[in-house]
Amino acid sequence: MLDIKYIRENREAVEAGLAKKGVEIDLDEILDADQRRRDILVEDECLRNRRNEVSKEIGMAKKAGKDIDPQKKEMRKVGELISELDKKLKEVEARREELLLRVPNIPHESVPVGKDETANRLVRTHGEARQFGFNPQPHWDIGEQLGIIDLKRASRMTGAGFPMLCGMGAKLQRALIQFMLDLHVNEHGYREVLPPFLCNTAAMTGTGQLPKMEEDMYKLPEDDLYLIPTAEVPVTNIYREEIISDELPLKLTAYTPCFRREAGAAGRDTRGLIRVHQFDKVEMVNFVAPEKSYDTLEKLLAEAEDVLQRLGLHYRVLELCSGDLSFAAAKCYDIELWAPGYNDWLEVSSCSNFVDFQARRANIRYRDENGKTRFVHTLNGSGVALPRLVVALLENGQNPDGSVDLPEPLVPYMGGLEKIEPQKTS
C-alpha cells in the first residue's frame, strides 16, 4: 500500500499518479480517516498523561492521610474515556486500512502514459519469425495429431479451461519446468523453494490480489483459503511480518501450478492452451534494498529473456504504459512470444517492480547499513509461464510431416529425444 505520510505530504503527486493509471480514488475520505486517527491519538495521550498525574496525586494523598475519593472518581472517569477512545481508534484504523488497501500503486516517472495496451512501448525484438514452406498449424491441431494434448477428456472431467497433456506433451512440460529451475538456480543465483499452493486472505492481501481481484480467484470459503493465481503470492509472503535477517538481495524461484478464473474471458483466446484456468509457471521473486530495485528490474527481465533465448524463440519486450499496469506494479515489462500458427503474440512473462507497495501491506522489512528498519522492495517475474511456452515451441518447431523439433537445451531433459512424433493413443 502507499505510505499514508506520503499521501498527506504529496497529495497532488498521488492524484496525478492515479490519474495516469485511470483510477479514481477519494483521497479526502482516506485523509479524513487519517486525521481522525491522529486526533484520537492526541486526545488519548492527554488522557493517559492525566491518568498518570492522578495516580501520583492518589499516592501523595494517601501518604498525607487525605481523602482520595475525588481522585479515584476522576481515575475511573479517565479510564472509561480511554476505553471509549481505544474502541474509536480501532474502528477508524480499520476504516483507514480498508480504504488504503483499495489504492493502487502509482507509476514510476519513467513509465509511458497511456490509457490501455495500445500505448505500450516496444523496447526490443529478439530473433526473427521462422519462414515456413507450408501453412503453419495452430497448436491445438498439432497437439491432437501428435496425441499430446487432450482437451475433450479434460473438459469432461473438469470443464473448459483445464487442459490435459499426455505422453510426450506431459514430459515436455516437465522438462521445461526442470530446465528453467536449473537455469535460475545454477546460473542466475536463485534459491529454489516449493511453497504451498493455497494461501489465506492475509497472504493474498499482502501481495495485492485482495481485495481488488477476488472475482478472478478460486476460493475455499470454509477454510479461508484461495488457490494461488501465481507463485508470487506464497513466495513473497515467506517473509510476511518479518524483518529479513539474510543479506539482500534475496532471489527465490519456485514452480507451482496457478489457478485463475479469468472472469470475462471470451473469444478465440479461450481455444487450446492460450487462456486457461489452470497452468504451470516458474516464478522469480526478488527482495532488494530500495536503491537497487530499478536496476534489479532490468536484471530480472534479462533472466526471463535468457530462458527464451536459449530455446531459440522469437520474442519481443514491451514496457507497459500507465493504464495497462497491474494494481500493485510501479513499472512492468511484458515478454511476448510469436506463435505462427495462432498468428499472434502471446504474453509469456511479466517482470514487475512493486517498490515498497507489497512490503507495506505484508510488513516485510530489513535493516539497512545503519541498522535502521526499512521496508524492502519486492519484484517478481515469470521465468517463464506455461503453457504458452508450449504453444510457441509446438508452432515454431512444427514440420510438414507433423513432427515437432525440440530445442537443443531440452534434449537432455527429454531423455535424448530431439523431436516429438505422432504417438499411439487410446
pLDDT digit string (tens) for 202-211?
999 999 999 9
Give CA–CA dist 229/51, Å, rounded. 51
Look at residue 48 in the predicted model and tell me its pLDDT.
Answer: 86
CB of 349 closer than 8 Å to CB of 335: yes
Three-state secondary structure readout of 351-387 = EEECCCHHHHHHCEEEECCCCCEEECEEEEEEEEECC
For residue 175, the SS3 value is: helix
Catalytic hit among 262, 347, 374, 403: 347
pLDDT digit string (tens) for 212-248?
999 999 999 899 999 999 999 999 999 999 999 999 9
Catalytic hit among 37, 96, 240, 260: 260
Look at residue 262 in the predicted model and tell me its pLDDT.
Answer: 76
Question: What is the rounded average pLDDT of the residues 362-376?
Answer: 96
pLDDT digit string (tens) for 299-344?
999 999 999 999 999 999 999 999 999 999 999 999 999 999 999 9
Q: What is the CA radius of gyration of the chain?
A: 27
Question: What is the rounded average pLDDT of the residues 199-203?
Answer: 97
Q: Domains of the chain by range and CATH?
A: 4-100 (1.10.287.40), 117-420 (3.30.930.10)
DSSP secondary structure string, 84-140?
HHHHHHHHHHHHHHHHHTTSPPPPPTTSPP-SSGGGPEEEEEES-PPPPSS-PPPHH
Look at residue 378 in the predicted model and tell me its pLDDT.
Answer: 98
Give CA–CA dist 170/149, Å, rounded. 9
Burial of 405-426, coded b for 16+ CB within 10 Å and e otherwise, reads ebbebbeebbeebeebeeeeee
Catalytic residue status for 76: no
Look at residue 79 in the predicted model and tell me its pLDDT.
Answer: 87
Question: What percent of the chain lies above the pLDDT cut of 70?
Answer: 98
Catalytic residue status for 153: no
Computed over every residue of the chain, the mean pLDDT equals: 94
Catalytic hit among 240, 275, 360, 365: 275
Look at residue 425 in the predicted model and tell me its pLDDT.
Answer: 54
303, 281, 295: which is closest to 353 by C-alpha?
295
Question: What percent of the chain lies above the pLDDT cut of 90?
Answer: 88
Look at residue 55 in the predicted model and tell me its pLDDT.
Answer: 82
Q: Is the pLDDT of residue 288 over 60?
A: yes
Which amino acid would we find at residue 334?
D
CB of 176 closer than 8 Å to CB of 310: no
Catalytic residue status for 347: yes
For residue 268, the SS3 value is: helix
Question: What is the rounded average pLDDT of the residues 185-200?
Answer: 98
Catalytic hit among 322, 349, 350, 382: 350
Catalytic residue status for 222: no
pLDDT digit string (tens) for 50-95?
888 878 888 887 887 787 777 788 888 888 999 999 999 999 999 9
Quote the crossing angle between the two packed helices 168-186 and 388-397, to the nearest 10°: 110
Catalytic hit among 96, 240, 361, 388: 388
Look at residue 70 in the predicted model and tell me its pLDDT.
Answer: 78
Q: Is the pLDDT of residue 426 over 70?
A: no
Our measurement of the distance from residue 286's CA atom to the centroid of its chain's CA atoms, rounded to an integer in Å, reads: 12
Strand (E) or helix (H) holding 204: helix 201-207
Q: For cell 518447431, name the residue.
A: 397
Phi and psi of 118, rounded to 5°? Answer: -65, -15
Our measurement of the distance from residue 37's CA atom to the centroid of its chain's CA atoms, rounded to an integer in Å, reads: 30
Q: Report residue 362's pLDDT band, with 50, 70 and 90 as the boundaries.
A: very high
pLDDT digit string (tens) for 374-414?
999 999 999 999 999 999 999 999 999 999 999 999 999 99
Q: Is the pLDDT of residue 266 over 60?
A: no
Q: Is the pLDDT of residue 263 over 70?
A: no
Per DSSP, 149 falls in state B
Quote the crossing angle between the two packed helices 11-20 and 27-64, to the nearest 10°: 140
Give CA–CA dist 151/154, Å, rounded. 5
105, 369, 124: which is closest to 248 by C-alpha?
369
Look at residue 99 in the predicted model and tell me its pLDDT.
Answer: 97
Question: What is the rounded average pLDDT of the residues 414-425?
Answer: 87
Look at residue 184 in the predicted model and tell me its pLDDT.
Answer: 98
Sheet with 225-227: list strands edge to edge.
Answer: 198-200, 225-227, 219-220
Quote the crossing angle between the two packed helices 139-146 and 388-397, to the nearest 10°: 80
Burial of 9-20, coded b for 16+ CB within 10 Å and e otherwise, reads eeeeebeebbeb
Q: Report residue 254's pLDDT band, with 50, 70 and 90 as the boundaries.
A: very high
Catalytic residue status for 350: yes
